[in-house]
Amino acid sequence: MTTEILNNIQVMDINDHKEETEESVVPFERQIIDAVIEIWKEDPSTETLGFSKLHGLVKSRHKNWALSEKRMRTLLKKYGLLVNNPDQQYTYASEIRSQETPDMELPDKIKVLQTSKKGKGLYAKKNVKKGEFLWEEKPLFYVPALANMTLIKNGKACSYCGKLLTQGTRGSSGVSYLRGLDCDVCSEIWCSKECKNTDSKLHALLKHNIYNPSKSNTRKNINANAYLALQDYCLKEQWNALYAITRIYADIVSDKSGVKQKQFSAMARISQETRYKALDSSAGSFDNFQGGALFVQEQQESLWKEGFSLFSNVFPISVDDGKINYEEFMYMLGTYNINNLDSIIFLLQSHLNHNCEPSTTVKLSSNRTEGLKVYAARDIKAGEELTTSYVNPSHTVQQRQRELRVNWGFRCACEKCKNELKEQHRRKSSSSQKSNSEKDSIREMLSNTKAELGDTEITLDDPKNPSKERRKSVRFDEKVIAVSK
């Protein structure tokens, strides 16, 4: 009896990292997709490989897989991972909306133009020399680094700028330098009078405000207990975008002039749900997921809902009034994600459009609260657009294009991209001619010995040494990391 049962138990091992047995297995869809994504991740140049070469690579890594070229092709197609035809890839740039920015002071050399094709953009009003200073600005919405939160809560880093408060700063007696710089209510501390003055109002609103629905005072429109719960949740989930929009919205409701609300609403605006489609439907996914992007739409949605419910608890009046609903919350996430620079929102800098060979250099101050300075990266003629690069220009054209499409929704058609794609195409077609003729001669040689050959039995390429280096994409909503929940 027992042996009979044991004999009938099949042990299935779906862990990629274990040694594979000799016996041939039929891999699951997910395993196949993950294997392909892993190869692309390790060596981005494999993304331009022809299909049979890619199939050969997968087979060389999983020798016991019974996997036909046809099945793999069907699957990659099904999940939108066949990137041979870039025209079929999802883009959402045409859905991004923006309005004229109210109350913005422009530097002498710069004007804003709005075009139907590119939305808002910054342009030079006069000729500018390479290296010339263009403008500097402070954050419109400053977001303290989420990573410092534990230190901040324990009074070990400045509650505003995040600067570490070392033993030395605290003085041997413990408090001498910081007298007057700590919070009366909680254990948080600021590093300077300046940080305290700038931050203490919002600090008290977010962390000590007593929510009182009976008073129609907007200052009471924040529930501090709910904020602290949300902050803990964001820290646990590493969800920077939720943390940031909560800080931004608190800033907005406490701004009596209403200007900040108008400026945020005028920014390039898109729903996070729309952005997610680019992740969901294409090879862009693997920057943020371990191949999981294609399978977690449902989990993703329930996480957004959870985030919205925590957000609603912080701003109960705004939600009751209908100022914020789930849809608007999704727009806030999306808008934050496409406009922030190092987690901070800048009013003028966020108007810069992308070019892989940008005409400006943006220098962030090492103290994040101080903001940034912008210089001309080359000579710029009057009327020319000022641009910045949203991605690392030294990455391959495939990496750049994918990251731009997923994170900002457009297919980059700048001169650098065009030239590099052209050059790649040229090299690829000349090398494929060469390898075809090599294949032919081997085929001929083997057929002389009466060997029978299928199309895919000979792979002339050696799998390249996979390089482990891969940059982390931080611009997409960091929430997506938490898919294991």
List interacting residues with Zn ion (CB under 5 A). 158, 160-161, 163, 183, 185-186, 188, 191, 195, 207, 356, 412, 414, 417
Nearer to Zn ion, 230 or 332 (CB): 230
Nearer to Zn ion, 199 or 280 (CB): 199
Q: How far is the CB of 417 from Zn ion (least distance, A)?
A: 3
In 3-state terms, what secondary structure has residue 113?
strand
Nearer to Zn ion, 370 or 461 (CB): 370
Nearer to Zn ion, 106 or 145 (CB): 145
Nearer to Zn ion, 141 or 160 (CB): 160
Nearer to Zn ion, 37 or 356 (CB): 356
Nearer to Zn ion, 162 or 334 (CB): 162
Nearer to Zn ion, 53 or 247 (CB): 247
Q: How far is the CB of 370 from Zn ion (least distance, A)?
A: 11
Q: How far is the CB of 208 from Zn ion (least distance, A)?
A: 6
Q: How many CA atoms lie within 13 A of 419 on its CB side?
A: 5
Token pair recorded at residue 306: 């959870």
Q: How far is the CB of 420 from Zn ion (least distance, A)?
A: 8
Q: How far is the CB of 177 from Zn ion (least distance, A)?
A: 13
Q: How far is the CB of 114 from Zn ion (least distance, A)?
A: 22
Q: How far is the CB of 96 from Zn ion (least distance, A)?
A: 18
Q: How far is the CB of 389 from Zn ion (least distance, A)?
A: 8
